[in-house]
Structure 1
């Protein structure tokens, strides 16, 4: 039987399990999706009961598989979500969705008690944005649902709750605490004072290292079980462990997030005003993250382009970078697009379709979007001297995006990776404590280096 590490990678949409061999190569994967349910206010939320059943059923089935022998298991999951248990281990509330709003009056009273927005955000690495700050969920429960809060014995972040389902041991770990929860004071390397003053610490389990594992007996098999990890921190781990020089990682998707794991400064007022937050490495150090709604905006604009030029919806996927088109556009460049998810002072009141050619309009769109991306990368970099840049996610295969980014950031060495296993592989690495060599990304992530194009 092949010895493997099992990883449950729980996303908002897809629930996945992967099996990795000793060389960290994927040997098996399985996906599931569940319909959302509604909380008491009618807001959509995770079907926690269905998730629990799937986790247990899949694990039991794979334990009985004659081809693989599971020696370790760990869990990667989205953050900003808490599971609240009473003293008997019963789940007390729905798994509230981080998109659920909290009354502005409650947030205002919080700031009156614990400091203004900029000062608070500088310490905690996150502005107050309601349920997106898991700590504020506990504050909300205490002040708006005291009958529920008073019955809470333990509150766990989702990755640690999934681990708890297999171990029965409630724990906290750094990456989940540090992901825009507003619980952690980076200047003190401890929970923020408000957590103690409100008595929130009473329901938070002991903090352990993200690399902690617990040996359990399952059907006569000794299995090492991890404590779980926040998915963004997990996705970053393979890069941190295999790259010796400082770098910025841009994770692209609906959100494009520029991650600087080498920052040594608290977030400035400018950082905070431009939507920067902190994530956390497994060693407790902050990761400066600059966010941009790039993938969403791209999706909206390419639909509008395809409708205007009457071309197939997927035509944008076939466009390759054309240096002549770029040179023609840049001669007399002016903003052409009106954005839907952010605004700029120089954007037009409505999109101006000034080209006869779809290809020209698409290149113009990408020039504008990539300029935003460059600003976003520079924001995450700050004053740090960083020369390496890695791009993963959907835009890593967009030829126009990559060519333009390498052109606008000539002072950085740009590389792309195919990190479809990102957070799952990171969760496997954290409990293996494996030392990675410089060839790891090339072997496992299809690493490619890109050079700036030459203009005529």
Structure 2
């Protein structure tokens, strides 16, 4: 008998993956690909949409031919702040513009002149002003910079929904994609913000469906239930919401380190907005207060700089353990540094300003890097923790496997229980769990998440 499975495409900035999960949510098949970026018409790096589309269609053809498995469901997760603009025939009209692409200052000023005070607008949409990271502003830009393409656009799909469209041919919008710093949604009125209608944007957006919806689809002649796709940070939260009911904060780490507090429904303050705090919308449609750091990106750049300076392998840090003696030496000999900016207005720890020749070894420099990143993380996480009853922090993603990071984080929050949460691909499993009722007749398993507790050491940052 073939094994019943749910397939999930998980498209990150770096890794493109497909997983098969069995009915107990164990991974039974995995494929990973990496593609070189291409450039848009301005020479800025961007996702290669043709390559990605071909990979997804080829992968579907491959995996549906495997007799060992019966695909009963399929869903998708992908990074947010990204639109795919389709013509009448469902073909992309533009490159997939990178959310870090610089945003024209004159267009932002024009928008502000039409729709008022930036801070008030940000409070209404739970979106700090972030240029292209506010994906709604990408549509505004398209309208005024490329009106002929805007007019030819039948529908603009957020990236996860484009992936679903490739398989199902269905055009939908989901709340987790709308609700991730898009500047599209009025959180107070619980509908699209007035500018979306006034600018003719609303008519370019597909109908909204619940994030846990699924529809019958045909996979190379085989019927299954297909989800409409989820924004990756919201998807990564689902296994935790399904497993824990006491208040917690999830620190989801990767290129971005996102602090997600589903137990904080306090309105965003102006001070929080100025510090890049925002609200997501969970797959159940509830606001989730969040703060973000581009810390994984900074870690990659600075770890590479350390490796090159000391003649180490690029992944040298993966073999390092927490070393209290090294921490003690750092506290005695190295001063704190001020934060800086990276990739526009995004805050960085300041480690990039440090002179690496002042460190005795790569190990010492790397401990300093993590100390600097944790100091920044404390500030970011407190934005969503303050004023709530949360006493547990779960860390998933890349940094959860980093003992130096985890030990220093536990020391930074001695009043909290800090856990490294090992979830077999949290983002992917979240997308699978979202459509559980549509493909799986079993109860949700209770062992999806493995926890490792880190106690605070006496060395406090």
User: Structure 1 residues 90 and 304, CA, compared in 2 at 3 Å: closer, same or farther?
Assistant: closer
Partner of 1:430: 434
Shift of 1:54: 2.0
User: 2:374 matched to which residue of 1?
Assistant: 370
**How many residues align structurally?**
452
Quote the residue 1:396 is aligned against.
Answer: 400
Corresponding position of 1:409: 413
Aligned to 1:384: 388
Instruction: Give 1:134's aligned residue.
Output: 135
In structure 2, what is the equivalent of residue 151 of structure 1? Answer: 152
* Aligned-partner Cα distance in 2 for 1:312–1:89: 45
Distance 1:346 1:23 in 2: 44
Q: CA deviation at 1:23?
A: 0.5
Report the alpha carbon displacement of residue 72 of structure 1 after superposing the two structures with TM.
0.9
Aligned residue number for residue 4 of structure 1 = 5
1:295 positional shift: 3.0
- Secondary structure in 1 matching 2:157: strand
- Sort the Cα spacing of 1:52 and 1:413 in 2 relative to 1 into closer, same or farther, 3 A: same
Contact 1:370 1:404 survives alignment (8 Å): yes
**Does 1:106 find its partner at 2:107?**
yes
- Deviation larger for 58-67 or 82-91: 82-91
- For residue 33 of structure 1, what is the aligned residue in structure 2? 34
Q: Which residue does 1:450 correspond to in 2?
A: 454
Equivalences for 1:247-262 in 2 at 5 Å?
247-262=248-263
Structure 1 contact 335–348 (Cα < 8 Å) conserved: no
Contact 1:338/1:350 (<8 A) preserved: no
1:172 deviates by: 0.7
Which stretches in structure 1 are left out of the alignment for 5+ residues? none
* 1:439, distance to aligned residue in structure 2 (A): 3.5
In 1: Cα distance, 2:52 partner to 2:309 partner: 43
Q: SS of the residue aligned with 2:449?
A: helix
Unaligned 5+ runs, structure 2 = none
CA contact (8 A) 1:9 1:17 kept: yes
Question: Cα offset for 1:345?
Answer: 12
Larger Rg: 1
Cα separation, partners in 2 of 1:377 and 1:85, compared to 1, 3 Å: same
| 3-state SS in 2 of match to 1:74 | strand
TM-score by length of 1: 0.90
- Kept in 2, the 8 Å contact 1:337–1:348? The answer is no
Task: Give 1:333 deviation, angstroms.
Answer: 7.3
Q: Give deviations 1:351-406, integer Å, cap 9, x for gaps.
A: 48666566555444433332222222111213112100011222222222222221
Q: Tell me, what secondary structure is at the counterpart of 2:290?
A: strand
5 Å-filtered alignment, 1:55-454, equals: 55-218=56-219, 220-303=221-304, 305=306, 314-327=315-328, 329-330=330-331, 334-335=335-336, 341=342, 351=355, 356=360, 359-419=363-423, 421-433=425-437, 436=444, 438-442=446-450, 447-454=451-458
* Pair 410,216 (structure 1): closer, same or farther in 2 beyond 3 Å: same
Question: 2:338 touches 2:350 (CA, 8 Å); kept in 1?
Answer: no
Could you tell me how far apart the structure 2 residues matched to 1:263 and 1:154 are? 34
Distance 1:2 1:358, change over 3 A: closer
In 1, Cα distance between equivalents of 2:221 and 2:365: 63
In 1, Cα distance between equivalents of 2:172 and 2:432: 19
Q: Contact 1:74–1:427 at 8 Å: present in 2 too?
A: yes
Q: Could you give the per-residue CA deviations for residues 188-221 of structure 1, whole angstroms, max 9, x where no partner exists?
A: 1110011111121111111010111111344553
TM-score, L = length of structure 2? 0.89
- Aligned residue number for residue 22 of structure 1: 23
Deviation of 1:76 after TM superposition, in Å, equals 1.0
Instruction: List per-residue Cα deviations over 1:164-209 (Å, max 9, x = no partner).
Output: 2222221111001111111011111110011111121111111010
Distance 2:133 2:69 in 1: 38
TM-superposition CA deviations, 1:65-102 (whole Å, max 9, x none): 11111111111111112122233333322222222223
Kindly provide the CA deviation profile for residues 259-290 of structure 1, in whole angstroms up to 9, marking residues without a partner as x: 11222122211111111122220122222221
Distance 1:311 1:89 in 2: 48
1:318 CA drift (Å): 3.3
- The answer to whether the Cα contact below 8 Å between 2:4 and 2:72 also exists between their aligned partners in 1 is yes
- Paired with 2:191 and 2:53, the residues of 1 have a C-alpha distance of 31
Contact 1:297/1:339, CA 8 A, preserved across alignment: no
Rounded to whole Å, the distance in 1 between the matches of 2:287 and 2:261 is: 9
Deviation for aligned residue 1:238? 0.5
- What RMSD over aligned residues (CA atoms) do the two structures have, in Å? 2.8
Q: How far off is 1:2 after superposition?
A: 1.1
